[in-house]
Amino acid sequence: MIVMTKESLQILKEQDVILFRNRVKEFATKIGMSLLNQTKLITAASELVRNMLKYANGGVVILEIIGKDRVTGIRLTFTDKGPGIADIRLAMKDGYSTGKSLGLGLPGAKRLVNEFDIKSEVGKGTTVTIIRWKNGI
């Protein structure tokens, strides 16, 4: 796997979300991702960044254009220093939420991307990594 472009963004307030989404869109357009795949990626990113703001008061996102076996894609890594998730399996279940949301954020985001990885430590924070390939389904 090779990283072609890398950038990191601070997410501290609500308005940063729109800026961040636009940046993801620019990256996705640059590699020629189809409109549908772009929409899926940005929606997933939106869910995750919202979680970050809500539960950890913000964090950092790393945007990367990556290549593997002649396929390009976009990798986003969301890192926060929030309370962490005690039971990841439960958090990944549809309809489960500790807040007042619909509980679709994490599992929904997973369905919208090609690769999804979550690591969390209670009291330390959470890191979520997602990849969407240019033409993957």
Give the residues lining the site for another protein (CB under 8 A): 14-15, 17-18, 21, 35-36, 38-40, 42-43, 46-47, 50, 94, 101-102, 104-105, 107-109, 111-112, 137
The strands making up 2-11's β-sheet, listed across from edge to edge, are: 2-11, 59-68, 71-80, 125-133, 115-121
Cα gap 44→24, rounded to integer Å: 11
Nearer to another protein, 65 or 113 (CB): 113
Phi and psi angles of residue 59, each rounded to the nearest 5 degrees, phi first: 175, -155
Nearer to another protein, 18 or 88 (CB): 18
Least separation in angstroms between residue 123's CB and another protein is 27
Least separation in angstroms between residue 75's CB and another protein is 19
Beta strand extents in 1-137 (DSSP E only): 2-11, 59-68, 71-80, 115-121, 125-133
Least separation in angstroms between residue 90's CB and another protein is 16
Least separation in angstroms between residue 124's CB and another protein is 26
Q: Which residue has the tokens 């640059």?
A: 30
